[in-house]
Structure 1
Amino acid sequence: MWVLFGGGLVAFVFYILAVSVNFLNLFGRMPNLKTLENPKSELASEIYSADGVLMGKYFRENRTPVGYKDLPQNLIDALVATEDARFEEHSGIDPKAMGRVATGLLTGGSGGGGSTLTQQVAKVLFRTRADLNDGILNHVPGLRMLVIKTKEWIMAVRLERNYTKREIIAMYLNINDFGSNAFGINVAAKTFFNKSPKQLNLEESATLVGVLNAPSRFSPVTNPERSKNRRNWVLSQMNKYGYIDQRTYEQAVAKPIVLHYSVENANKGIAPYFRTEVSKSLLQWAKETDHDLYADGLKIYTTIDSRMQKYAEAAIAEHMQLQQKWFMQHWKGQLPWRDETGRVIPNFLQTSIKRTERYKSLFNRFDGNKDSINYYLNKKYKMQVFSWQGEKEMMMSPMDSLAYYKRYLHAGFMAMNPINGQIKAWVGGTNFKYFKYDHVKQGKRQPGSTFKPIVYTAAIDQGYSPCYQRPDVATTFPAVAGRAPYTPKNFEGGFSGRSFTLRQALARSMNSITAWLVQKLGPETVVSYAKRLGITSPIEAVPAVGFGSSDVSILELCGAYSTFVNKGVWTAPMMVTSIADKNDNVLREFVPQTREALSEETAYIMTYMLQASTTEPGGTSVILKTGFKFPYEMGAKTGTTSNYSDAWFMGITPDLVCGMWVGGEDRSIHFRTGAYGQGARLALPIYGLFMRKVYADKSIGINTNPFPKPQQPLSIEIDCSKYYGGQRDTIPYDQKLNQTDLNDLNNQDI
């Protein structure tokens, strides 16, 4: 018997050594010492605002670790009592538990689980049943589980040598899956109870420990009764091992599970459109530097100001809710998709549906069979849809859904600091969950008159003064290469014949004088200045270039207007300031990209020109002074495209440049009149609502000083008051509309 015992002991030792070194590749790999000392689990990368607010995360497994000091004692007690009552007594393997399991197997009964907490950490952390399961014997029935368990024993002992008991407890709670896309106790506490782990009470801790055994089976969301029974069993274990007394146990089991359930996802959090756009550049950086954005626990620090972002989102929601109401009334009982003559576009929905993923999926599924495709396109389903009154459930077919959403107006908004290029607010649309398309960078539309300042910049640079006078008369571009003669008209349709200074002309957004400047300068000159000011989208050198005939993005226009404020220095809009690893070691810092684009004098004169829009009688943006009553210097420019398809507004202050656009998903969907569809009415109020909140929030510290003047005296005259004469009281029809009807714009006291 002694020989057999000794031989068995020697064989066992050799077996353990053989598994440890993967003898002849019989048992599969073991983690090396470096991996054991630095075990890695997937950690969510976190993205922060400039003022230190967590905006959201990038993850495959939503996991954010916490230290032992951040764990409540009742959670630790619940875990030990339930999973490993002798945790403090063993060194990774519990002989009593293993003996109990062996006895159960020999007698045909159940001995319960024999794995210690440390073994469970090894199983999850090193994926012993997947990644380390590649040896020859792993494919032999009966031996596979023995080899796996042996590896877990070995690694458990090694973990106990490398880590303290507290570190192992923290590791266990950080790596395990709690269901509902919550990995680790930190995310689980927030998901189920909207708390940090430290704030969990006894019942909540017991609930989460109970979930660990089988997250789906014991989920308090999908299986509340089963979860409560499991929680009560955990509490009974705590009572059994002396962690809580009988009275505490009885009081706890009598309480219901009270959830504050919310699953983190990409649709939630601060600035979701911005986060999506940032992820594109981060993925490229991660690829180049061998990082994993979704697993390395990176910390991304952005330029966004969470307060400004909140105000921008609120302004969009407040304004667009009312505009949508008016739009639905405007087209009540009629189809809004119209061609340039105002006629309904035939087969509009049938053509549009073919661009959707639903149609493409059905086309592939039924090999292009029209009858089958049309059947499912017109079959009604119960679906959640967006509305400004909140989500609602409706019976709709895919065709119904398309028609429903095509009637919605969309918007984009961006605010940036023109001095350093930092983007402070980014709202890519009205609701990220339902409308993923980003209208700040991804979307490009004709900018209308917001492009005119580029024409005037070229004129100022060529020696024209803001006080230069030009009569309001027609300018005709002759026919060229088959193109018909082109005579741009003013907004009101005619020409007054009176003379206006260039400053007045820009303030009133007069097409006649802009057309004359384009003709004098040449379309090619205007295009070259657009490129100097950071416009990278293709711009056609055509007579209509000065009226924004080529598509651009809000992002590009904000960069261009920032050049005026930043003394002629173009600064690329900047989204991220730095990236750090999970231990806060800085991996990359970003600096603004800049280049000299204009002289300081030209840039200042353009800020002076743009201010006229808010101060000159007839200015397209006087409502900012007369309605919103902003007392500070600000420049502005409205923009409206043909048929009112696109409404734009650009606003500048000494340290903030804002751009916004409003329109339909398709250019054929829009208001029919300027009374509703012009930029001063459909886009400008977003700026007013936003700036009102920004100025009111003293913690932001927005600059209210005048635009700084150049140190050197100006070489041209800018005081045009002596040229005005009696024309200062003349206000064109469209501007009268701004000042009267805009007072009722949002049914607000503005």
Structure 2
Amino acid sequence: MRLDKIKSLLVPPLTQAWAQLQPVQRLKSLPSLRRPTRRQALLAVAAVPAAFLLYVLVLIPFTPGISDIRKARFERPAQVLSSDGKELAVFKWANREWVKLSEISPAVVDALISTEDHRFYQHHGLDWRRTASAALHTFSGDRQGGSTITQQLARNLYPDEIGRAPTMTRKLKEAITAFKIEALYTKEQILETYLNTVPFLYNAYGIEMAARTYFDKSARSLDVLQSATLIGMLKGNSYYNPVLNPERALDRRNTVLAQMVKRGRLDAARFEQLKKRPLRIDFERQTEPPGPAPHFAQQLRKWLIGWADRNGYDIYADGLVVHTTIDARLQALATQAVTAQGNRLQSIANAAWAPRAGWAASKDLVQAFVRETPEYRSAVAAGTPADEALKHLLANPAFMQALRQQKTRIQAGFIAIDPRTGQIRAWVGSRDYTQDAFDHVQSARRQPGSTFKPFVYGAAFQQGKTPDDTLVDQPVEIQLAGGEVWRPTDEGRPSGRAMTLRDGLVYSRNTITAQLMQEVGPSRVARLARAMGVRDSKLDTVPSLALGTSPVTLKEMVASYATIANAGEYIAPTMVTRIEDRDGKVLQEFQPARAERALPAATTQTLLDVMRDVIDRGTGASIRSRFGIRADVAGKTGTTQDNADGWFILMHPELVAGAWVGFNDSRVTLRSDYWGQGAHSALPIVGDFYQHSLRGRIIDGRARFAAEEESGVFSALATQVRGWFARLFGGKGPAEAPGARPAPRRPALPPPEADVTPQPPAQAANITDASDATAGMALDHGEVVVAVPEQAPAETTDSTAGTAPAPSALPAPPPAAPATTAPGASSAPG
């Protein structure tokens, strides 16, 4: 009855209202105003969660797969081994040492669960109550996080796949991955993985490295206060950094302790005692051990990442085993030689650049150093007048001492290559990787000086010239583009006599080499250098290229000399022999690169024979006299302007090795005309290395370079005619036939001339790849005369060889003790 009464009261007014709306009734849109049916209402209500569920299903393929999760749990970094099975490096993606959950202090786990996820053992990856609470607070303007430990682990393990943007999509992907992790792992495994992967700043990943970094102890030994401090950092590593922000870190630590009390994991009375104690941080950065061949390992890492990407592997997780060409014994000898000679030269540099010696005498240079520092630029950018900023820094003893030590630190590079295979056997990129990680073998480009001259003589011999051909040792003037004249000189004055090409290279005469370059042509020399191994650095095709003014790398030069030792065939240097998986299955083997003919074998034998004399009686004679090496070896020294770069490369049938010595900034030199030369700076490194390698029988002292067979009457007759002609016209006599000799020739001859390369005006700059090398080198030996501009000289000119008798004496040897000279002084013999 009540329902009928309600109808009688409501129907008449509604009918009247409907009648008034009859004109509008005709509109097609009005049927939609009907009351929805129950089915329609249910469908509308179900559409929202259905769409949400569909979106979740669509996201699943874009989350990490189960196999990836397993790999993350059991990742194994690539292991790098030497050719004799010694470990050289382990490629970890982070500085981390995995420890089991049983090896972590229980206080860490209590602090973590109390603070980050107190219902950790009740949920299955997602805490619905905490998520809902966080959502309500966020909607009300008080943004809060609601991630569980498992969700945080998912975000830490897969930042690229999940992302870190504060969006619904990211939270859903994070939750899906968390469910997968919970399905795969036990709670203990999740805690162990989380604590071993979470970052703690200063390249410390995981609780073990964090404990060592901040408290100098293991994770097992952390007490409650230390555990609370580290767990407190998880809310914001930088904001709660106990090193830089100790007050914030202390407050956060006490908050963690309070949460432990709230969750029943710490006694309240104990908390009142602990919260008053200081942090007591014992901070020390944890660095990975560099290993026996750190520069080689860094170059290898770059190559291996590319190989792994192309072949679908992860160098940080798949347990690859990389077998390299490095010989651990030779690597140890090379490191020892570089360290010993570097320390000797550093004592000389310290004396030469003492505060009241060379440092004080180089006022303009020191001020230039100061202006290049970040401290100076920051002061000027902040509004300090330039003169005032300079004066302030010059008066700062600590700053100036650090600057002087940085600029005057001797550096060196060394590499050894097997010429028969191109395999790199030893690689030392600097004196100490921890102090200077810059690689002076492959990354630094420096002027090679006289070590470049064999390319000139090789090109000349390839054109038909012989070691017994002569040129007059006389002043040389070479017209350059732009109207300048380059006058290359040597330490001693020209003798005015004829000198054979053999002696021109043996005694490293710049005047002879410059004349020979004019006959051969810079383009031809540059092409030969590229064919022999200088393939990455740009070579300027100018006359001064003959004296090594185009910067190159040590690796390129040693690879080029390896071409000479390999009978003129270039083989690209290689680092790896094979790669295996974690189970020992060979994934790929690497054979030596294909040999490329760069120089005819006969020409190579001639060049090699002349370079033997460099060691027997020339600028590299101390290899015999000082280090007692009697093996069949050949080589060349090199020194650049002002002794900025010292070079020496030695060839043995089984091993070619070279060293460079200098400073990162080429404006700094040893200030000694004796110690600055390659024969006294770089040669001892190579000599020490070969001496111990031969003594240890790592390389065969009886090995001989392969001889190019000369057979037939005509070849023998040609040799006799050349010898007769040379004797008749005052030459040095017949040259020994190319090929291996039973023992090195060591005739009693005067000491060698200087081996210093003067710079032409077009090559005044000597810039390296080092970060702080910013200037060129002064012109001391090469006199420059401004003339009327003319066209550049032709590549090949008429020979200026003379027939005067060869010089009977050479300049006196260098002094027994180093002579220190002021900057800009002429280089001394050696």
Q: Is the 8 A contact 2:215 2:283 kept in 1?
A: yes
The number of aligned residues is 653
Q: 1:546: which partner in 2?
A: 546
Cα distance in 1 for partners of 2:438, 2:390 equals 23
Deviates more, 1:600-609 or 1:296-305: 296-305
* Deviation by residue 1:442-480 (Cα, 9 ceiling, x = unmatched): 3323222111211222233233444x2537632645646
Q: Is the 8 A contact 1:176 1:212 kept in 2?
A: no
Once the two structures are superposed, the pairs formed by residues 511-660 of structure 1 within 5 Å of their partners are: 511-536=510-535, 537-575=537-575, 592-594=592-594, 595-614=596-615, 616=616, 618-660=617-659
* Deviation by residue 1:254-282 (Cα, 9 ceiling, x = unmatched): xxx999965126x9445444455556656
Q: Is the 8 A contact 1:612 1:635 kept in 2?
A: yes
Name the SS for the 2:398 alignment partner: strand
* Deviation by residue 1:280-308 (Cα, 9 ceiling, x = unmatched): 65677788889888899877665444544
Q: 1:675: which partner in 2?
A: 674
* Deviation by residue 1:335-380 (Cα, 9 ceiling, x = unmatched): 7599xxxxx88843444555555555555x44xx5x3455555545
Distance verdict in 2 for CA 1:739–1:424, change over 3 Å? farther
Cα distance in 2 for partners of 1:488, 1:710 equals 36
Cα distance in 1 for partners of 2:399, 2:303 equals 38
Q: 1:315: which partner in 2?
A: 337
Distance verdict in 2 for CA 1:509–1:262, change over 3 Å? same
Q: Is the 8 A contact 2:650 2:656 kept in 1?
A: yes
Name the SS for the 2:442 alignment partner: coil
Q: 1:442: which partner in 2?
A: 443
Q: Is the 8 A contact 1:56 1:268 kept in 2?
A: no
Q: Is the 8 A contact 2:507 2:752 kept in 1?
A: no
Q: 1:497: which partner in 2?
A: 497
TM-score, normalised via structure 2 length: 0.62
Q: 1:48: which partner in 2?
A: 80
Q: Is the 8 A contact 2:639 2:647 kept in 1?
A: yes
Q: 2:68: which partner in 1?
A: 38
Deviation at 1:319, TM superposition (A): 1.6
Could you list the runs of 5+ residues in structure 1 that have no partner in the other structure? 1-14, 102-113, 139-147, 242-256, 339-343, 384-393, 745-750
Q: 1:348: which partner in 2?
A: 365
Of 193, 207, 210, 1:171 maps to 193
* Deviation by residue 1:503-530 (Cα, 9 ceiling, x = unmatched): x443332345434533443333322322
Deviates more, 1:516-525 or 1:350-359: 350-359
Once the two structures are superposed, the pairs formed by residues 74-223 of structure 1 within 5 Å of their partners are: 74-75=103-104, 92=124, 121-122=153-154, 124-125=156-157, 131=164, 134-135=167-168, 158-163=180-185, 168=190, 171-177=193-199, 180-184=202-206, 203=221, 213-214=231-232
Of 721, 728, 731, 2:750 maps to 731
Q: Is the 8 A contact 2:126 2:179 kept in 1?
A: no
Cα distance in 1 for partners of 2:486, 2:707 equals 39
Distance verdict in 2 for CA 1:416–1:203, change over 3 Å? same
Verify: 1:452 aligned to 2:453, yes or no: yes
Q: Is the 8 A contact 1:327 1:671 kept in 2?
A: yes
Deviation at 1:176, TM superposition (A): 3.2
Q: Is the 8 A contact 2:654 2:703 kept in 1?
A: no
Cα distance in 2 for partners of 1:438, 1:528 equals 27
Distance verdict in 2 for CA 1:517–1:115, change over 3 Å? closer
Deviation at 1:625, TM superposition (A): 1.7
Distance verdict in 2 for CA 1:75–1:704, change over 3 Å? farther
Deviation at 1:574, TM superposition (A): 3.1
Q: Is the 8 A contact 2:126 2:178 kept in 1?
A: no
Q: Is the 8 A contact 1:47 1:56 kept in 2?
A: yes
Q: Is the 8 A contact 2:79 2:319 kept in 1?
A: no
Distance verdict in 2 for CA 1:579–1:733, change over 3 Å? closer
* Deviation by residue 1:635-679 (Cα, 9 ceiling, x = unmatched): 221112233232211112223222222234444433455323221
Deviates more, 1:349-358 or 1:544-553: 349-358
Deviates more, 1:163-172 or 1:604-613: 163-172
Q: Which amino acid aligns with 1:741?
A: A
Q: Is the 8 A contact 1:337 1:345 kept in 2?
A: yes
* Deviation by residue 1:358-406 (Cα, 9 ceiling, x = unmatched): 555555x44xx5x3455555545999xxxxxxxxxx6226xx6545533
* Deviation by residue 1:405-463 (Cα, 9 ceiling, x = unmatched): 33444333222232333333333334445545443333323222111211222233233
Cα distance in 2 for partners of 1:194, 1:708 equals 56
Deviation at 1:79, TM superposition (A): 7.7
Q: Is the 8 A contact 2:619 2:636 kept in 1?
A: yes
Cα distance in 1 for partners of 2:348, 2:79 equals 37
Of 373, 380, 398, 1:395 maps to 398
Distance verdict in 2 for CA 1:690–1:210, change over 3 Å? farther
Distance verdict in 2 for CA 1:680–1:151, change over 3 Å? closer
* Deviation by residue 1:600-655 (Cα, 9 ceiling, x = unmatched): 333344333322222x2x32122112111123222221112233232211112223
Q: 1:687: which partner in 2?
A: 686
TM-score, normalised via structure 1 length: 0.67
Deviates more, 1:280-289 or 1:430-439: 280-289
Cα distance in 1 for partners of 2:415, 2:364 equals 35
Q: Is the 8 A contact 1:26 1:135 kept in 2?
A: no
Once the two structures are superposed, the pairs formed by residues 273-312 of structure 1 within 5 Å of their partners are: 273-278=295-300, 302-312=324-334
Cα distance in 2 for partners of 1:331, 1:93 equals 64
Deviation at 1:317, TM superposition (A): 2.8
Deviation at 1:597, TM superposition (A): 0.9
Deviation at 1:697, TM superposition (A): 5.2
Distance verdict in 2 for CA 1:543–1:517, change over 3 Å? same
Cα distance in 2 for partners of 1:540, 1:132 equals 51
Deviates more, 1:672-681 or 1:486-495: 486-495
Q: Which amino acid aligns with 2:416?
A: A
Cα distance in 1 for partners of 2:56, 2:101 equals 44
Using CA pairs under 8 Å that are at least 6 residues apart, name the structure with larger relative contact order, 1 or 2: 2
Once the two structures are superposed, the pairs formed by residues 447-486 of structure 1 within 5 Å of their partners are: 447-466=448-467, 468=468, 470=470, 473-474=473-474, 476-477=476-477, 479=479
Deviation at 1:310, TM superposition (A): 4.0
Q: Which amino acid aligns with 2:338?
A: I
Cα distance in 2 for partners of 1:20, 1:133 equals 23
Q: 2:346: which partner in 1?
A: 324
Of 704, 707, 712, 1:707 maps to 704
Q: Is the 8 A contact 1:457 1:602 kept in 2?
A: yes
Q: Is the 8 A contact 1:492 1:732 kept in 2?
A: no
Deviation at 1:586, TM superposition (A): 7.8
Cα distance in 2 for partners of 1:332, 1:519 equals 44
Deviation at 1:731, TM superposition (A): 0.7
Q: Which amino acid aligns with 2:689?
A: F
Distance verdict in 2 for CA 1:473–1:131, change over 3 Å? closer
Identity among equivalent positions (%) equals 27
Name the SS for the 2:679 alignment partner: helix
Q: 1:264: which partner in 2?
A: 287
Q: Which amino acid aligns with 1:410?
A: Q
